[in-house]
């Protein structure tokens, strides 16, 4: 694996993370988290479907694309606990994933444009690729947990609503999109962890998550004067002074 160059694993991880964030963004905006089907036995009327999202609610008659009721202030009056939790969880997950993407991008740029032998005097201030990718992998894993847990809860809460009221509730496509995006975040973190585990065996101290102390970089620095100027007693000419009789 070309650890000292931008590797396909890190590029694929960045693309996968970007696609996952885009999926989360779409799931947040779509009003398709829960459907409520209201059936009527009147032949002169049509069945009504209520589409419930995190921020808006839309009610449509069967066969129509226009919303009979379009509530843009639904987010302020959400009365379903799982959707209320998702209103906070998904933006937090997106923010965490975006932070991980920025770290991943910094790590790739650092790999591509920074010298393999950094300045020893600035070693404590520099950012290295392994540290960026390792933290990014942890953030992707955290973002996955934040969005996946309440999304699965929607499925169980939907069964609870059907038992409490009537079996008219079903979860919609946003649940699937969020679970798929969570899987993409998990796949991204696994790729970054595999990249780090394959590269951490390099002998250079610069492939550790944090740069070592400057004294541990002696392999790149010149030897001190005292180490070079040690001479044995045989190599030293000691002048001998004799007294004339």
User: Which sequence spans correspond to the domains of the chain?
Assistant: 6-199
pTM value is 0.74
Edge-to-edge strands, sheet with 57-61: 69-71, 57-61, 48-52, 34-38, 169-171
> Has domain 6-199 been given CATH number 1.20.140.150?
yes
> Which comes out higher in pLDDT, residue 71 or 138?
138
Whole-angstrom CA distances from 15 to 83, 228, 230 are: 29, 51, 56
> Which comes out higher in pLDDT, residue 27 or 121?
27
Please, are residues 187 and 18 in contact by the beta-carbon 8 Å criterion?
no
Cα gap 95→83, rounded to integer Å: 18
Instruction: Give me the mean pLDDT over the 119-132 stretch.
Output: 60
Give the pLDDT confidence of 40-56 residue by residue, as tens digits: 776 666 778 888 888 88
């Amino acid at each position: 694996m070309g650890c000292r160059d931008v590797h396909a694993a890190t590029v694929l991880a960045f693309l996968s993370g970007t696609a996952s964030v885009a999926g989360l963004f779409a799931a947040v905006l779509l009003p398709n988290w829960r459907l409520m089907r209201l059936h009527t036995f009147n032949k002169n009327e049509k069945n009504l479907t209520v589409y419930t999202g995190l921020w808006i609610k839309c009610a449509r008659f069967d066969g129509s694309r226009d919303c009979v009721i379009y509530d843009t202030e639904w987010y302020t009056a959400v009365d379903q606990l799982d959707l209320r939790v998702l209103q906070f969880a998904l933006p937090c997950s997106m923010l965490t994933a975006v932070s991980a993407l920025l770290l991943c991008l910094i790590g790739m740029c650092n790999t591509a444009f920074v010298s393999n032998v950094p300045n020893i005097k600035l070693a404590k201030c520099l950012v290295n690729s392994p540290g960026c990718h390792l933290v990014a992998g942890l953030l992707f894993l955290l973002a996955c947990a934040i969005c996946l847990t309440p999304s699965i809860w929607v499925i169980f809460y939907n069964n609870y609503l059907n038992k409490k009221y009537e079996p008219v509730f079903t979860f919609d496509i946003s649940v699937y999109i969020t679970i798929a995006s969570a899987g993409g975040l998990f796949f991204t973190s696994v790729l970054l962890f595999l990249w780090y585990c394959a590269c951490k065996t390099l002998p250079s101290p610069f492939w550790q998550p944090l740069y070592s102390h400057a004294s541990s970089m002696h392999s790149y620095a010149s030897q001190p004067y005292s180490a070079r100027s040690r001479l044995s007693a045989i190599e030293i000419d000691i002048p001998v002074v004799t007294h004339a009789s």
